[in-house]
Amino acid sequence: MRIAVVLTSLACAAACTDDPPDCAPTGGGPFAVVEGDPLVIQLSCANDPAGRAADQFAIADLPAGATLAPATATLTWTPGLDQAAVYDLTLTVAGEATTGALRIAVADAFDTAGNVPPLDPRRYPEELGLPVIFVTPTPTTEEYAPVTVTYRGHAYAAEGQLRGASSLSYPKQSYTIKFAAGDYFDEPDRAGGFHAKQRIVLTSTFDDNSYVRQRLAYEVWNRMDADHVAVQAYSAVVYLDGQYHGLYALTDHGDDDLFAAHGLARTGNVYKAINHDANFTLRTYEDDPKATLHDGYTKKDGQPPEGQPGAFDDLDALVDFVARSSDASFAAELPTRVHVPDFRDWYVFVTYLLGSDSGGKNCYLFHDPAGGPWRYAPWDFNHSFGQAWETSRTGADDWDDFADKNRIFVRMLADPALGPTVAARYRALLAGALADAAVLALYDAMVAETDAGARRDWRKWGAAYRSFDRWRDRGDLTDYDGEVAYVRQWLAARGAYLRGRLGM
């Protein structure tokens, strides 16, 4: 009986007090606004719906031009054209120790007359929900030169260069950035954790009005199998020399680090297929005799380096095996030479997205000379999801089996034991990672994330895109909204076409 009385008294001591709970001041958010656009934020108590008197609220270090009305606890602000930054404000209530946080990210009004670019890159880590990377000075050659990279408030001493082939002619070019040992690039919250990158690639979206083709391709590959060598990618806004330059795909760099991150030997050989002579045959894509078995490839990492005797010995042996082995030898030895799931999924992957520029070239091959099978990693997908490399349209019911581009595909499909497993794998993926609902949900999420940034980029580059000499004479050019709808329709139709083709 005595214990019950004590417990009742303690409960009343906690619950019967007249003191209100801590206010926990809040304004909601976080908020994103463009310079010159008005912002109105109502402050309140998160823990006490009855609230406090309006004049008890305060905000420390209000930005210039912002006001807090004491009668209503309402923050009003129209940021000026020199106020692009992220503002982390502290909210207080008179007489209480509990504080609240309010984040306002003010985006640069880059295309407004009289605009002043962000004054301090360290205070401009994001723009309308997307991370921002500053590179100064702008790389202008294909040789590395010193640059300063500012990202998430951190300044890196790095090196930058132009990259690409056809994209070198774009007014909005692509870049590779190399970071110094001990201060590698790091982004904890994007692409599942984008950590300790010695090199990154800033891939132009000038040839992709949807702005997500590269990212979508890599993420589809990554989701097809957890054992794939994953290529991480996310969208970021690029500023060059302090000026807005547009929306980019920020991706992994194809090198030994990419494969080492998957647990493979850092001492392995990494080869990049750079043209369609990388076809696993004895003849070039133009049907001339090859000068070497590794025509179409460059060596990115490994020993001996390109230019030294024996640099391509293991790759030459693989090409020779695929080109000249008997059917019996091919069937018996392929599983010991290559990681068959990689190469089987490579075929499914590029035929699914109709990446006809990536079924032979635009890929990375890895081999550890000390032992272990060849591995594959994808690269470069401006030619995908309904467009070719020069942005012309490709139909959702088009088909490319890569017979003229990749002899290893041809031989796998012709093998009486391996061939049926390719079709079975295709069916399983179309019911799983490549199912319409899965891919469309992924696409829609990427579009929603990048929408505001894509619209800003289109304002900057839309006219240049329409007048670009490689495609300006076409009559089917789209704007951003048109391309987003086009890709979505293509994806839905593609799934239906492939299921019909495979008898599903």
Give the number of other Cβ atoms within 10 Å of residue 496's Cβ.
13
Phi, psi of 452 (to 5 degrees): -65, -40
pLDDT of residue 49: 72
- Decide if 36 contacts 78 (C-beta within 8 A): yes
Question: At which residue do the structure tokens 């020069």 appear?
Answer: 390
Segment holding 420, helix H or strand E: helix 418-430
CA separation for the pair 331, 329 (Å, rounded): 5
Contacts of 439 (CB under 8 A, 6+ apart): 216, 220, 491, 495
Look up residue 107 and give its amino acid: A
Crossing angle of helices 327-337 and 313-324, in 10° steps, is 150
Q: Are 486 and 386 in contact (CB under 8 A)?
A: yes
* Cβ contact 407:279 at 8 Å: yes
**Contact predicate 353/361, CB 8 Å:** no
CA distance 88 to 61: 10
pLDDT tens string, the chain, 504 residues long: the values are 333 333 333 334 444 445 668 899 999 999 999 999 999 999 999 998 777 899 999 999 999 999 999 999 999 999 999 999 999 999 999 999 999 999 999 999 999 999 999 999 999 999 999 999 999 999 999 999 999 999 999 999 999 999 998 899 999 999 999 999 999 999 999 999 999 999 999 999 999 999 999 999 999 999 999 999 999 999 999 999 999 999 999 999 999 999 999 999 999 999 999 999 999 999 999 999 999 999 999 999 999 999 999 999 999 999 999 999 999 999 999 999 999 999 999 999 999 999 999 998 999 999 999 999 999 999 999 999 999 999 999 999 999 999 999 999 999 999 999 999 999 999 999 999 999 999 999 999 999 999 999 999 999 999 999 999 999 999 999 999 999 999 999 999 999 999 999 999
Largest CA distance in the chain: 101
* Element spanning 9, H or E: helix 2-15
Q: What is the predicted pLDDT for the residue at 19?
A: 66
For Cα atoms 450, 454, 455, give the angle at the middle one, nearest 5 degrees.
125
Taking the C-alpha atoms of residue 279 and residue 293, their distance in angstroms, rounded to an integer, is 10
Domains, in order of start, for the chain = 21-107 (2.60.40.1080), 121-253+437-504 (no CATH), 265-434 (no CATH)
Q: At what angle do helices 313-324 and 407-414 cross, to 10 degrees?
A: 40
Cross-strand partners of 100: 91
pTM: 0.93
What separation in angstroms does the CA of 301 have from each of 34, 255, 269, 368?
A: 44, 6, 6, 11
Tell me which long-range contacts 388-392 makes (C-beta under 8 A, separation of at least 24): 388/356, 388/357, 389/166, 389/207, 389/357, 390/166, 390/207, 390/470, 390/471, 391/207, 391/208, 391/470, 391/471, 392/471, 392/474
CA separation for the pair 108, 58 (Å, rounded)? 27
